Amino acid sequence: MNVPVGVATILLSLRFVPESRAVGERRGFDLAGAVTVTGGLMLIVYGLVGATEHGWASARTLGLLAAGLALLAVFIGVERRSTSPLVRLSFFRQRWVTAANATMLAVAGGIFAVFFFASLYVQDILGFTPVQAGAGFLPLTATIILAAGMAQRLVGVVGVKPVALVGMSLAAAGLLLLSFISVDGSYASDVLPGLVVLGLGLGLTFVPLTLIATSGIQPADAGLASGLFNSSQQVGGALGLAILSTLAVHYTSSSLGGAGAAPTAHERAVAAVEGYQAAFLAAAGLLVLGVILVATLVRRSDVATAGASEPVVVGAGA
């Protein structure tokens, strides 16, 4: 279903989205930086995904993780020396920007798991078809849209930090509700309440976090700030899903280990659900981590102009 949507988006973009090229400005492309950061992240994710099968202490897992970290170290060295760095490292001196990106890594790591594990649960345990499973996520989408509209108004009243804290707390509560799914459960009682609470929380999270990540940014750094924030979401989702999948498989395998050599279909279902429960609970923990990061690292003075109709650029030391 995503393919025709993507094609339509490309065609509509060509027709309606204006070009935004900077006039009279030429910059080099940091190929070395792009290759090292992409390769490093890919190796780390690949190592995490295979850790359950090959073992956390295996030479394969440790080698992939070490290689990934080494490439990221090379990336930092490249960026320090590049005349046109992919990511200007001094940009991270702005504490609130770093906090927002670190928070999005944690938030995305938690929420990406919802679509994966909830899809498996409603199809493999509740017997939904793929189309029914997709339709089952519509309440989540609707509540995100509703809460995002609320967030835009609330930010102007109470500020971005309180809205973000409430949003992530609600999202964590939604994931906690999902961790109570059972083999004999139903969509209405086990899935829907968690999706609704999660959707409300995410809608109240994305708007203020985006404003924090782009608050007080010089116009020349707008693209960098936006790109970093979106990259944090994608990288956090990949890393989070890899870690939580590994955790779920561990719990499922442990449960099956006590079921004998030939577990029944019911025992396999119980083991799978135990894995999903562990993943949802860990995902809730990632959202709580996001709450802690924003609460401790973002000051009201840092984001005093976030969401204002006429943003005022503030210094990194504000």
> pLDDT band at 95, cuts 50/70/90?
confident
Q: Rounded distance, CA 64 to CA 52, Å?
A: 14
CA angle 49, 136, 244 (to 5 degrees): 20
Determine the average pLDDT of the residues in 104-130.
92
Give pairs for 126-132: CB < 8 Å, separation 24+. Answer: 126/185, 126/186, 126/187, 126/191, 128/187
pLDDT of residue 296: 92
pLDDT of residue 3: 87
Q: Which two tokens stand for residue 170?
A: 């609600």
Question: How many CB atoms are closer than 10 A to CB 179?
Answer: 18
pLDDT of residue 190: 95
Residue 103 has pLDDT above 90, yes or no: yes
Of 39-48, 187-196, 285-294, which gets the smallest average pLDDT?
A: 39-48
Mean confidence (pLDDT) of the chain: 87
Determine the average pLDDT of the residues in 222-226.
83
Determine the average pLDDT of the residues in 193-221.
89
Q: Rounded distance, CA 96 to CA 295, Å?
A: 11
Q: Indicate the pTM of the whole model.
A: 0.81
